[in-house]
Homo-oligomer: A and B are copies of this chain.
C-alpha cells in the first residue's frame, strides 16, 4: 500500500492537518516542524493520492484533448497540435489527457464533462457538430475548439487563415503558368473546406480562368483517399497540370499515384499540399505547402482554455492565425 498522510503523522506524532499544511506551504507551521515533515515525507516516499486530492479540491488539473479521429489516424497535423498544447499545459501546471476513442465519441464527450475527469476540454474536431458545442455550453464545461471557425455565440476557437493561405498558393501556381489546377476537397471539414474552395474559385476568377467542376474531387478519411483522388484527376480527358491536395498527407499519396504512371513531378504534374506536415519536407520531391503555425496555435488554445477554467464567465475568444506559403520542389523544380 502507498504511504498516506496518516502514516507520516503517526511516525512523527503530529496530526494529519499539520502534516498536510506543512506539505502545502501554509504559514501556521513552525519551520522546524515543517522540516521534520518534509524530510519524513521524503524518507517514506510519500506522494499524495490523486483521487483524494481531486475529490477534495474539486479539480483535477487536467485538460482533455479530444480528437475526432481514431488513434490510428493521428498524423503530423495532430502531433504538432498536441506538442504545442502539451508544452503550454506543462508550463501552466496542467496535465494533458488524450481522448480518442474507437467507437462512439459523443458518449465519451458526455462522460468527460459530467464525471469531472478533466477541468476543461480542447476539441481538435475539425468538424465539430454543433450539437456537441451546445452540449458543452449547457453543461458549463470550459472548452475551446481547435482548427475551425464555429458559429456558436459563446464558443471560443482558434483557427488558421485558410482563405489567405489558399489564395497565396493559387497565386503561386497561377504564376507558374498553370491554368488547369485540380482541387482535392474535403467537404466533411465544413468551414475549412468552404474557405479554401472559395479562395480557389476567387483566384481562378481573378485570373480569368473558368471554373471546371471536373477538377474538384472529394476525399475522405481513408488511408488511400488521396491516391484514388489523384487517379481520378489523371484519368480525365484533359488532366490538370497542377494539383492541390487538401493536406500534405493526401499530397504524398498523390505523388505516389503520379509516380506509378511514370509522371515526373513537377514537370509533368505539379503537386501542392496544405497544413505544413513535417513529412512533406522529406517527400520525394519535397512538398510545396501552406505552413500553419500549429504549435503556436496549440499553445494559444490551451492558454485560452485555462483562462476560461479560472474565470468561466469570460467572453469567448476567437483567433485566426496567419499562415505562410512554403515553396518546394514539388511545384518549382529548381528551388
Contact = CB atoms under 8 A, between A and B. Distances in A.
Interface of A: 2, 45-52, 54-55, 60, 70-72, 74, 79-80, 82-83, 86-87, 90, 96-98, 100-103, 110-111, 114-117, 223, 227, 252-253, 255-256, 259, 278-279, 282-286
Given A2-B114, A79-B72, A279 B259 contact: no
Contacts of A279: 252, 279
A71 to B, nearest CB: 5
A51 B51 CA distance: 5
Given A97-B97, A102-B87, A284-B259, A47 B79 contact: no
Given A49-B115, A98-B98, 6 more contacts: A51-B54, A71-B79, A72-B82, A96-B98, A252-B279, A252-B283
A90 B116 contact: no
A90 B101 contact: yes
15 contacts: A47-B110, A47-B114, A48-B115, A49-B55, A50-B54, A50-B115, A70-B83, A71-B86, A72-B79, A86-B100, A86-B101, A90-B103, A256-B282, A256-B284, A259-B284
A3 B292 CA distance: 41
A47 B284 contact: no
Nearest to A277: B279
A80 B74 CA distance: 9
A302 B199 CA distance: 47
Given A74-B74, A86-B100, A252 B282 contact: yes
Contacts of A102: 86-87, 90
A87 to B, nearest CB: 6
Contact of A82 (B50, B74, B223, B259): B74
